[in-house]
Amino acid sequence: MAKKYHIEKNTVQETLIIPLFGRLVCSERFPSLFADPQAKRICDSLDYDFAEKRKKMESAMGLFGALEVAQRQYDLRCEVNSYLKSHPEAAVVNLGCGLDDTFSKVDNGLCKGYNIDFPDVIKVRNELLPARDRETNLACDLNDYSWMNKIDASAGAVFFAAGVFYYLRRDDVRKLFAEMGKRFPGCVLAFDSCNRRGAKMMRSTWLKEAGITDVDAFFSLEDEQEISTWDKALYSVTAKSYMRGYRDIYRDVRPLHRLMIRFCDNLVKMKIVRVEFREKAC
């Protein structure tokens, strides 16, 4: 029997497996929507007691959190696939990748994959999700723009971030987007966002656990069109509903989860935002 990879409690390793386990739970509870054998394979390879996590995640509210994680990955995968249709050899860049395996799900045999995260995260990833053909794991802080030098965007690039920018200060996000727009003209960025109300709600959960208290200084969006005013390189900004914009799962979930979907759409403004970078002037 292969040796299992040990996950320490209360470490960055444990935070990485929470969204992974959410995907597994969704694939078990909603197999027609979220088939994810990779999530099961990784969880089975871990030396970790999931009993407590399972109890929380299979509660009514916990299951909705798992639905959010799984649907977010589906949404961003749709954006990547859409871009690859017209740019089949593009770079697919996962910003703040954690243990997300989107590249394996979108790989068309021609594109290139880049997964970027902090060194301690990439160390775990290299053990559990070693890079495939045409895929590179990069250990780097997103605010250290040197990672941009390692992206081959000669055939285009689609960047995406799942649950990442909430951890960054608003000014840092603005600077990051502007720099990406200048470095990668004609390329696309997709990510999830919520409004200030949603960010404040997060303060009592994972933001608090991350030691973030000044929520107003961190990234949220009341209106996605604000992004187009940040820099002339960010010329087209569109958004879709997080839970219903790419496929409508409203009728596939229980009544409480339908209520939560309406709450997320109307009061928290959970969205997938797509930013197109302006083509370089001739």
What are 169-178's contacts with CB under 8 Å, separation 24+?
Answer: 169/217, 169/218, 169/219, 170/217, 170/218, 170/219, 170/220, 172/143, 173/219, 174/230, 174/231, 176/142, 176/143, 176/145, 177/227, 177/230, 177/231, 177/234, 177/275, 178/230, 178/231, 178/233, 178/234
Is residue 176 within 8 A of residue 142, CB to CB? The reply is yes
DSSP result, 6-45: E--TTSHHHHHHHHHHHHHHHHHH-TTT---HHHHHHHHT
Q: What is the pLDDT of residue 90?
A: 98
Q: What is the pLDDT of residue 206?
A: 52
Q: What is the pLDDT of residue 173?
A: 96
Render pLDDT for 147-167 as a digit per residue (tens, 0 to 9).
999 999 999 999 999 999 988
Domains for the chain: give ranges and CATH numbers.
5-277 (3.40.50.150)
Beta bridge partners of 272: 192, 240
Query: What is the C-alpha R_g of the chain?
Result: 18
Beta bridge partners of 156: 154
CA-to-CA distance for 184 and 155, rounded, in angstroms? Answer: 11
**Enclosing H/E stretch for 93:** strand 91-95
Q: What is the pLDDT of residue 166?
A: 87
CA-to-CA distance for 242 and 193, rounded, in angstroms? Answer: 9
Beta bridge partners of 122: none
Q: What is the pLDDT of residue 282?
A: 38
- Provide the residue count of the chain: 282
Q: What is the pLDDT of residue 208?
A: 52
Q: What is the pLDDT of residue 261?
A: 95
Render pLDDT for 68-121 as a digit per residue (tens, 0 to 9).
999 999 999 999 999 999 999 999 999 999 999 999 999 999 999 999 999 999
Beta bridge partners of 239: 273
Both tokens of 107, joined, read 């790989």
Name, in order, each residue with C-beta under 8 angstroms of 208's C-beta and a sequence gap of 6 or more: none
Q: What is the pTM of this model?
A: 0.93
Q: What is the pLDDT of residue 14?
A: 83
Segments in the chain below pLDDT 70: 1-2, 202-217, 281-282
Q: What is the pLDDT of residue 10?
A: 77
**Enclosing H/E stretch for 257:** helix 255-263
Q: What is the pLDDT of residue 8?
A: 84
